[in-house]
Amino acid sequence: MATIAVDEPVGMPEADQAFRIETHGIDHIPLSERWATPRNVGGMWAGASVQVEYFIYGAILMTFGFSFAQAVSVIVIGNLSYFLLGLCSLQAKQTGTTVFAINRASYGPNGNRLIAFFNWLTQIGFEVEGLILIVGAALVLDIKAGFAPGDSAKVIFVLVAVLIQGLLPFLGHATIVKTLRTLVIPFVVLFAVLLGFAVRHATVHGVAHGAGWKTYFAGLAFTIALSGLGWTECGNDYTRYCKPDASSRSIIGWIFLGTAVPEILVMTLGAVVGTFLATVGTNANAFLPFVHQSAIPAWFVVVFLIFSIVQLFAINSLDLYSSGVTLQALGVPVKRYVAVVIDSLLCLGVTMVAIFNTSFSTYLKDFVDVVIVWIAPWAAIFLVDWVMRRYRYVPEELLRTDKGSLYYRNGGVFWPAIIAQVVGMFAAISGLSATFHLPQWLNEVTYTTSPSGFGADFSVFMGMGVGALVYLVLAWKGVRTQADEQDRRLAEATAG
């Protein structure tokens, strides 16, 4: 990880400088302002990956009933999904705009609003997840200081956390990139020290037989959704400052190096701790088990939680930034930084409800189920559409929502994409092993593996596979015809 540079690139445009308010929203980034390199992008993602959320995810995996070896294999295989994030980050270097502006080509400007709305809710959900952990860490620090925090303390901590978390995304892209890259080294050190304390108490052979294949697939779906697949809808928001000639292989390689590699290590560390501190994965406050334990020194717990709070604010900035530009893609006529304020206020209300009514692990598992259902078919449709367009779009047409737009289609909707999305979502639900009970007609594949309705989880694979196949069949002729028109316009623009 030490090979990832943390220096600020020279020649950064005034519209996107660290610790100044970024003026761009979903508008096209001019070539003169494309300062980022694949290495910069990888460094940012490394800062988003060497972090405490993935440590907790690893601990939660141990509550599935896995042996340690099973958990590690789930972690490794699940994090291979970061190749999907790499692929879903390649479109912006040519278009210079955000994911849900690019997505207008696949679904039409009006059809895109539905998918953008799903993503907006998803980003809000991830922001709430981060806030729950921030408040949980603050409550534990309060206990460590000798206080007995009650409900009033929770309310105060939520209010303060919401006020602080909006700062980085309010400033924008360059500030987020610089902050996240700076946090990589401190957390590499912290996790290395934590490993030193934890490894002496780990019981990696504590489960003799481990879980069955049905549970294995449930854990795999959980891991994929919270790793590469769960970030695919954000990728292009952070590569749009790369130049068009940036190497696609380098972008994929640096993103994979900055995400999958550290997350495998951090989640494995979480699984190690989960072998002797199992309640990290089940407690309403994931950090509370660190109060009454002897394996990890109290002084280190305090240092670790303070740094974790700082970093969780930085991680939440990614979600708030993407939710802000997604709100613009929905058609809400606000500046990007105003959208951040709107989303922060919404997070305040949702976090207040969540912090008093559910445990972190329950919230997370329910949330993951919802995310998988829409994002699995969407990611497949988005990539299949890009391939059929010969890996390019007409950038200026992506920002148009009027009837004269190249991508307007029928009433602003490309119905093959909508149909493929709906069918793919139904396929994902049919193979979903949810934490809540679903009727058999909606959950037929899972019921086939277990009459109780809690069988194997094939939701990710079915959602992606069915969504891609249906879209390919329904959209092939129309998209290829449009791709020819794209090529003609791009050739005219180049000649001009």
Round to whole Å and give the CA distance between 356 and 158.
11
Is 5 within a domain? Answer: no
Contact 87, 305 (CB under 8 A): no
Contact 218, 77 (CB under 8 A): no
97-107 pLDDT per residue, tens: 999 999 999 99
Confidence of residue 2 (pLDDT cuts 50, 70, 90): very low
State the DSSP string of 66-93.
--HHHHHHHHHHHHTTHHHHHHTTSSHH
Residue 92, pLDDT score:
95
Is 72 within a domain? Answer: yes
Round to whole Å and give the CA distance between 114 and 417.
11
Overall domain count for the chain? 1
Widest distance between CA atoms in the chain = 72
Contact 280, 207 (CB under 8 A): no
Is 279 within a domain? Answer: yes
Confidence of residue 364 (pLDDT cuts 50, 70, 90): confident
State the DSSP string of 343-398.
HHHHHHHHHHHHHHH--HHHHHHHHHHHHHHHHHHHHHHHHHHHHHTTS---HHHH
Query: Between residues 340 and 223, which one has the greater pLDDT?
Result: 223
Is 298 within a domain? Answer: yes
Q: How far is C-alpha 410 from the geometric centre of its chain's CA atoms? A: 32
Confidence of residue 361 (pLDDT cuts 50, 70, 90): confident
**Cβ neighbours of 331 (radius 10 Å):** 12
Is 476 within a domain? Answer: no
One-letter identity of residue 307? F
Contact 335, 128 (CB under 8 A): no
Is 447 within a domain? Answer: no
Question: Chain-wide mean pLDDT for the chain?
Answer: 86
Round to whole Å and give the CA distance between 238 and 392.
18
42-99 pLDDT per residue, tens: 988 988 888 899 999 999 999 998 999 999 999 999 999 999 999 999 999 999 999 9
Is 451 within a domain? Answer: no
Query: Between residues 282 and 41, which one has the greater pLDDT?
Result: 41
Domain of 282, in residue numbers = 14-372
418-476 pLDDT per residue, tens: 999 999 999 999 999 877 677 777 788 887 877 665 667 899 999 999 999 999 999 99
Is 354 within a domain? Answer: yes
Residue 61, pLDDT score:
93
The CATH number assigned to the domain holding 254 equals 1.10.4160.10
**Cβ neighbours of 259 (radius 10 Å):** 26
**Cβ neighbours of 199 (radius 10 Å):** 12
One-letter identity of residue 87? L
